[in-house]
Structure 1
Amino acid sequence: MLPLDLPFAALCVSLRALEPVHLPPFPGSKLEGAFGRALYRLACTQPQRETCQGCPLQTICPYGLSYAPRLPESLQVASLGTPPRPIIFRVAYGEERHLGAGEALTFGLVVVGQAVTQLPYLLAALREVGREGLGHTRGRLELEEVRSVQPYTGEEVTLLRGADLDVNLSPLLLRAGELPPVPGEGLRLHLRSPLHLRAGGQMARDLHFPVLLRALQRRVGNLEQLYGGAASLGADFTRLPLLARGVETVRQDVRLVSQLRKGSRPGQKTNMEGLVGTVEYRGDFRPFAPLLRLGEQLGMGKWAHFGAGLYDLEAAG
């Protein structure tokens, strides 16, 4: 088993529409962008800079830590050329949504490792997420509630409620060793948001288990070494991919979806595409259980911080 020391907090955020809100099928990038702008306004003390690079406060600023993480010299490796962000939105792919005034919008937010220490700023930014408007109509929303949840037991605590001044800064922390095992010899993955994995220089269309495992191992290892205890630094990353070859792909029922996303520059657009659907595997999943469970919460693949690459695990008969 890959040694992992990566605590994280899973939050459930509820907003209520103050006016009509029109959201695309995958609203993760909209929410992430609004959250990033709110966090920037709250935390940045040098707004005259065009980027965070070179800012003397980058390593302690809540915005710099989450949106422009600096790679430590000890981790100058190819797989960390673009450091993953420790704030991860959990938003499923669905239909276009038209919220009327008074209707609720609920989504998940995972805060990884050291980023949990920035929780006061993160909660303050969540208060501001919907105030500038979201979606095509720029409809405004207000924060209703933020809860810290344990997704496998149902335990939860309220961190923030509406305009209340009381704030709870003690979220439930989850760790790899505390996550439930993966049951049985059959496993079904329900891909809930677009999964974009690279294999052979292009997007993988066949999600064989070794492809999945390598992506999981890379993502979780990078997050753990940057924001956790770095227990996996120097570990053998070759053993699990070799074992993964013994897992059979029983059935794959997926489809390609895509959505245009506005870039950070005027006129810039990116086509976010990936696979949604179901993949079924058969084999011995015990060596991979911690990675599979962490991936279930942290997502994987391209645009994972927007909520892409989310899946649910289910025993397959």
Structure 2
Amino acid sequence: MNELPPKTRQSGFPLTALCLRFACRAVSDLDLGGLRAGMRLRGALLNVMNRSICALSPFAPAERLRMDPQHVQNCPVCWLQLYEPRPGEVRRAYVLQPPIHLPARLPAGTPFSFVFTLLGEGQNYLPYFLLAVREMGEVGVGKGRGRFQLQQAFAEYPDGQSALVWSEDEPVVRLPQRRIEHRDAAEWAQRMKERLNGAESLTLSFPTPLRIVNEDRLLKTPRFEAVFDALLKRLDDLAEAYAGGYQRAYDERVRLRQLARQVQLVENHTEWVELSSSSSRSGRETWISGLVGRAVYQAPVEVWQALGEWLAWAEIVQVGKDTVKGNGVVTFDWRITAQNGCLPVG
């Protein structure tokens, strides 16, 4: 199997990403549970990976750390689910975007897709994700263990291009020759400028729970400053943990935060959705509730231009907590933005 292309040396922001969309078809009725789809897909992924790959799979993850700390560094499964860049700080090297805007229960024959985005060093584990997703479909997911068939896997890029990674018609793994880099985000920002066409309104959609802790409290109103600050810190932490990066200079953080404070929330169409996640291994239940809906923001055009290259990353790395369970998906709703005075996307 060929290796992924080497990382290019960059003078700027070093994080890279690989967005893998898995196109599937339900073989039997499939209960993904609506907003619980992310946690169910992630649970199925880890169950398959643990059983197939990890030599210590009979033991709970925390027990593995005590038994053999070195094992966590060397086992792909443990590294993906247990590695902490700093003790107590959870920043995984992948995120999950579950199926969006689909009913909770999919009848047999229904096509659907979801995305695993591998971040920095996490891209080295692409083959494990591909094999695990195929087996997930055979074993079953959700209530009743509904089965699905993986039909194709694509690498997707911010400019709309894609590259075939795997197909059931020709089951050979084609490792992508391109990564998402910060220059892709900068080009996205330029396209955003053209789409806005001088308008000052921008609409963000949050189709899965957005769970942000701001000033030691859960964020119940999607204030832009708080959302952007969470994104910025997440990007710096991911770059430091998985791409040999660093925390950005204090002056740069201050400059970007001052710009973010100029963005006003003018329409709030979000609601707080209570949601919990239970673990079959630990027996514990944790809350992953958050804001779902959309929000319209307004700021001077030059502010959007200055923030655009970082906003572009929101669609890639997601924002807030529990992104590995599908939370924090952010999309830019250009259709709605167009109604507020911006050009529609062609």
TM over 0.5: yes
8 Å contact kept, 2:99–2:113? no
Are 1:213 and 2:232 matched, yes or no? Answer: no
Are 1:154 and 2:160 matched, yes or no? Answer: yes
**1:139 Cα shift?**
1.2
Q: Distance in 1 between matches of 2:95 and 2:268?
A: 27
**1:253 Cα shift?**
1.4
Aligned equivalent of 2:292: 276
Aligned equivalent of 1:169: 175
Residues 90 and 46 (structure 1), Cα distance of their counterparts in 2 relative to 1, 3 Å cut: same
**1:157 Cα shift?**
1.5
Q: What is the TM-score with the length of structure 2 in the denominator? A: 0.81
Q: Distance in 1 between matches of 2:31 and 2:59?
A: 33
Q: Point out the structure with the larger helix share.
A: 2
Are 1:47 and 2:57 matched, yes or no? Answer: yes
Aligned equivalent of 2:313: 294
Q: Distance in 2 between matches of 1:261 and 1:48?
A: 21
Deviation readout 1:4-55 (Å, 9 max, x if unpaired): 2111011110222222212211200000111112222333133354334233
Residues 85 and 145 (structure 1), Cα distance of their counterparts in 2 relative to 1, 3 Å cut: same
Deviation readout 1:258-291 (Å, 9 max, x if unpaired): 3332224464323331111121112212232222
**Which one-letter code corresponds to 1:5 in the other structure?**
P
Q: What is the TM-score with the length of structure 1 in the denominator? A: 0.88
**1:301 Cα shift?**
0.9
My pick for the range that moved more, 251-260 or 110-119, is: 251-260
Deviation readout 1:157-186 (Å, 9 max, x if unpaired): 111122744111225311122221132432
Partner-residue secondary structure (3-state), 1:38: helix
Aligned equivalent of 2:268: 252
Q: Distance in 2 between matches of 1:304 and 1:212?
A: 14
**1:61 Cα shift?**
2.2
Residue of structure 2 aligned with 1:117, choices 119, 124, 130: 124
My pick for the range that moved more, 170-179 or 288-297, is: 170-179
**Which one-letter code corresponds to 1:223 in the other structure?**
L
Aligned equivalent of 1:192: 207
Residue of structure 2 aligned with 1:222, choices 225, 229, 237: 237
Q: Distance in 2 between matches of 1:276 and 1:154?
A: 25
8 Å contact kept, 2:31–2:106? yes
**Which one-letter code corresponds to 1:61 in the other structure?**
C
Q: Distance in 1 between matches of 2:248 and 2:172?
A: 39
Residues 122 and 171 (structure 1), Cα distance of their counterparts in 2 relative to 1, 3 Å cut: farther
Ranges in structure 1 where 5+ consecutive residues have no aligned partner? none
**1:98 Cα shift?**
2.3
Partner-residue secondary structure (3-state), 2:69: coil
Aligned equivalent of 2:5: none
Q: Distance in 2 between matches of 1:165 and 1:206?
A: 46
Q: Point out the structure with the larger strand share.
A: 1
Residue of structure 2 aligned with 1:63, choices 77, 81, 84: 77
Residues 193 and 130 (structure 1), Cα distance of their counterparts in 2 relative to 1, 3 Å cut: same
Q: Distance in 1 between matches of 2:38 and 2:125?
A: 21
My pick for the range that moved more, 82-91 or 26-35, is: 82-91
**Which one-letter code corresponds to 2:215 in the other structure?**
G
Aligned equivalent of 2:331: 312
Residues 47 and 137 (structure 1), Cα distance of their counterparts in 2 relative to 1, 3 Å cut: closer
My pick for the range that moved more, 46-55 or 208-217, is: 46-55
Identity of paired residues, percent?
A: 24
**Which one-letter code corresponds to 1:104 in the other structure?**
P
Aligned length: 308
Residues 70 and 260 (structure 1), Cα distance of their counterparts in 2 relative to 1, 3 Å cut: closer
Aligned equivalent of 1:20: 29
